[in-house]
Structure 1
Amino acid sequence: MHHFNASRREFLRLSSLLSSAGALGVAAPFALNLATMGSAAAQGNVNDYKALICLFMYGANDQANTVLATDSTSWTQYTSVRTTSEAGSIALPAVGSNGGVLPIVPNTNQAGRTFAIHPSMPELKNIFDAGRAAIVANVGPLLVPTTLEQYKAASVPLPPKLFSHNDQQSLWQAYAPEGAAYGWGGRMGDLLAANNSNPIFTAISASGNAVFLSGRSIRQYQVGNSGAVAIAGLSGSLYGSTTAGATLRNIITGDTANYFQKEHAAVTNRAISAQSMLAPAMAVAGAGGIANPSQYTNPNTGLLANNALAIQLQTVARIIAGRNALGAKRQVFFVSMGGFDTHDAQRTAQADLLAKLSHAIAYFDTTMANVMGSDLRQQVTLFTASDFGRTFTSNGDGTDHGWGSHHFVVGGAVKGKDIYGNFPVTGLKHTQDVGSGSLLPQISVDQYGATLANWFGLSTTQINDIFPNIINFNNRNLGFL
């Protein structure tokens, strides 16, 4: 635990780090600047652009109905376990059935097995088939490679607070349970921010505060659906007065001898300056800019509806379109959707959630193909994450908390149309079943993240710094990029 040092000297030191770079600055200690300079030199050409987008599915997506093994043995096990006597049975129809699962054919054969994805994801199937999407099987937090016997005997260190939503969300994003200070997206931003003219636009969330984007020096910049959020009342008429706005600005940004007021003013000045830069740099939404997403079809009702996730990704695309005006070469983004804690009514709830997911990813893929005349698909990679997977067994019409899960990586640089990692045996009581079909991960979050970081331009030393457990795993690069 870090204890707060209330001395005047320590307070001034922390305040200087927070505001040393001026109105647009991000705290960057000299040692960190040296590290980022080394990173830039290692990359060679720093005049390129790359972006990573973390798409987090809050609540824990059920992996067993998202990506399925459909060979005869696997499908028999699947239907046997997931078909219940209740009306809420969560088993999906077979390939070829009305509303059945959608077959996919990975480039790499896995012992004669066949596969499919959820019927609500035809757009994602098309991207997979086109080679711009890959599936990474059975990923989850691990400290060291772990066998079922070691897990049962607790003979190796295990991730803390397994099966807890808040803690595992934090563990996925920031290596530690709830309360973690730094996430691996923010740490990548720390080391690559020197490539950007305005470091404040390095780590950007379109979905509220996320520990994933918190760095030691980089602060995440949060945007709304319309982009940069302005402080109300600083321009125009305020309470019927044309001068009140300027007075308000002076109050909230003026210098003072009080340390807390001084830091508040510095943060406010940064926010005002950042908004004034980002707003005109972003491409407009709609005609002449980044196309508005179409509505998606709710698979349960057949009705069209707006897709909030697609709108978040439109905001990301609008910022990416302004990369040159912002002087951005490396950016990390965060978007999310909730509702995946499907203890009840899973079949209908997940169908709608995955329809939104597929529709939004397809919209983003299409948008990246033509960002104001440039095809950026090779330079932008989106990946999914979630609290954990879910049990293979059903509780009647839903599932309970699990561990390992399957994830998608999408982009032009992805070595797609493949499944990475050994797809787990379908059923119960196998070497990856820690109970009720909850999967013991075979790929760690560190390996998953390190592969993304390697593509993003980080060195081996920097990856070791960002992912503290990666040294425990032989395979540091999973090869999907």
Structure 2
Amino acid sequence: MNNRRTFLKTVGATSVALGTLPHPVFARTAVNDPDGRILVLVQLAGGNDGLNTVIPFANDVYQKRRPSLALGKGATLGLTDELALHPQLSGLKEIYDEGALGIVQGVGYPNPNRSHFRSMDIWHTAKPGVADKRDGWLGRAFDAASKKLAGQVPAIALGTGRLPLGLVSTKFTVPTVRSLKDYQLQLAGNKAEQTTQRKQMRELVGSGTGGNSDLDFLRRTAATALDTSEKIQSVLEEYQPAQPYPQNGLGQRLQNVAQLITADLGARVYFVSLDGFDTHAEQAGAHNSLMTELSTALSAFYADLKAHGLSKRVTTATFSEFGRRVKENGSLGTDHGAAGPMFLMGDSVKAGLHGAHPSLTDLDQGDLKHHTDFRSIYTALLEDWLGWNAEAAVGGKFKKPRLFA
């Protein structure tokens, strides 16, 4: 069996079965800092309608400008005498009432750009005035903290095959994983037959190749692939969620995040995305569904972390490239706007409302004016949560809101 042709066939099968070159992040069995804090970013791609997320239901302008889309007091989840959450955010409302959800209002940046691509780049690079996509804000943070992160993989992006710009670093390679189930060695046969196949593969890749450097490289690749498969299999078998996750895309991605966090793999940042927020037409139904997916997924994730004793170590933050305009359009939807809210979730978060709700009359070309620069939020997340210097990441010094208790 130990010949060149069989070896190449086995290595090829191993690599194809895994679907991607394995990353050493999954070979780690412990975290250098077991008490290290973790940040989970949830991107709401497309431009979430902040006015129908954190709703100024008592505002006459809101009701008049949105005759079809406006939601009243009786149809929302009250926060104050004037503000409420979307009715489908009941799971997040419970977390808010428990004291583990903060809502930062009116987040944006000067001279807002209403292009999806450009505005998303701005949020990912923290460079509103420069079209520079060489690295991302978190990538620069990783680089600045490289001594603290030595030997670690700082972040993992899940549910995507393309690395998000915000995680692009000059010193670290950040893996992307579509699904943990797909990131395993797929073998035919029953469990006993699969065990035999794994044993044969391990004997083969561990036998050496007679000094052939190319084959030695393939052997090491195959050995790492097998290690990866076994580590992922262990993660999936040992992990038990505290409650069932919703059967939607975001729920499954966040369950994967929880699996990796509970496995203590060492990553400090996790990134997932929920698409579909570009609601130009017939917004009501689509936004209801998105709010349901967001709330059910985040609430299941929080309950899971809490049951595993991790809810104080993990902060989850949502963001979107922009909000929507105050006035609804003629297609029962809303067009690209500017400022919007961010959610922060976790037992270490300073719960409640942060900042004032933007004015609905003092507008910037029909859009809400931002009260909080998103780079100040990034600064707080980096410095007050992860313990890293933020200046290189955000391109300067920004006054931080107090986001953590």
Alignment TM class, shorter chain as reference: 0.7 to 0.9
Contact 2:158 2:177 in 1 (8 A): yes
In 2: Cα distance, 1:59 partner to 1:218 partner: 28
Residue 276 of structure 1: how far off its partner (Å): 4.2
Matched, 1:478 2:371: no
2:79 to 96, 104, 107: 104
Q: Which amino acid aligns with 2:348?
A: A
1:311 is aligned with what amino acid?
Q
Secondary structure, counterpart of 1:407 in structure 2: strand
Q: 1:276 to 1:54 in 2, by over 3 A?
A: same
Distance change (3 Å), C-alpha of 1:182 and 1:231: farther
Unpaired runs of 5+ in structure 2? Answer: 1-22, 26-31
Q: 2:393 aligns with which of 433, 452, 466?
A: 466
Q: Residue 402 in 1 paired to residue 337 in 2? A: yes
Alignment partner, residue 163 of structure 1: 114
SS of corresponding position for 1:387: coil
Letter of the 1:402 counterpart: G
Say which of 237, 248, 261 aligns to 1:320. Answer: 261
Asked if the contact 2:157–2:177 (Cα under 8 Å) also holds between the matched residues in 1, the reply is yes
- CA–CA distance in 2 between the matches of 1:232 and 1:195? 36
Residue 414 (structure 1) shift: 0.3
Structure showing greater relative contact order (alpha-carbon pairs closer than 8 Å, 6 or more residues apart): 2
- The residue aligned with 2:13 is none
Asked if structure 2 preserves the Cα contact closer than 8 Å seen for 1:342 and 1:349, the reply is yes
Contact 1:213 1:219 in 2 (8 A): no
Note the C-alpha offset of 1:46: 4.6
1:56-455 alignment runs, 5 A limit: 56-71=43-58, 74=59, 76-83=60-67, 89-92=68-71, 94-96=72-74, 100-105=75-80, 114-140=82-108, 142=109, 146=110, 158=111, 162-176=113-127, 180-192=133-145, 195=148, 199-200=152-153, 202-208=154-160, 209=162, 210-227=164-181, 229-230=183-184, 255-256=213-214, 272=225, 275-276=228-229, 278-280=231-233, 282-284=235-237, 289-291=240-242, 293-295=244-246, 306-323=247-264, 326=265, 328=266, 331-371=268-308, 375-396=309-330, 397-417=332-352, 419-427=353-361, 430=362, 433-436=363-366, 438-455=367-384
Quick one: distance in 2 between partners of 1:56 and 1:227? Answer: 22
Output the CA distance in 2 between the equivalents of 1:445 and 1:425.
18
Q: Which runs of 5+ in 1 are unaligned?
A: 1-22, 26-44, 84-88, 106-112, 147-157, 296-305
| Distance of aligned partners of 1:196 and 1:129 in 2 relative to their CA distance in 1, 3 Å threshold | same
**Percent of counterpart pairs with the same letter?**
26
Rounded Cα–Cα distance in structure 1 between residues aligned with 2:306 and 2:92: 15
Q: Which amino acid aligns with 1:315?
A: N
Aligned equivalents of 1:276, 1:196: Cα separation in 2: 25
TM-score scaled to structure 1, two decimals? 0.67
Q: Given that residues 142 and 149 in structure 2 are in contact (C-alpha distance below 8 angstroms), is that contact kept between their aligned partners in structure 1?
A: no
CA distance in 1, matches of 2:231, 2:393: 28
**C-alpha distance in structure 2 between counterparts of 1:308 and 1:123, whole Å:** 17
- Letter of the structure 2 residue corresponding to residue 95 of structure 1: K
CA distances 1:418-443 after superposition (whole Å, capped 9, x unpaired) = x112211134xx1xx1122x123221
2:6 corresponds in structure 1 to: none
CA RMSD of aligned residues (A): 3.6
TM-score (norm 2): 0.79
Q: Which runs of 4+ in 1 moved over 4 A?
A: 176-179, 191-198, 231-237, 242-251, 265-271
- CA separation of 1:267/1:119 partners in 2, compared to 1, >3 Å: closer, same or farther? farther
How many residues are treated as equivalent by the alignment? Answer: 364
SS at the partner of 1:333?
strand
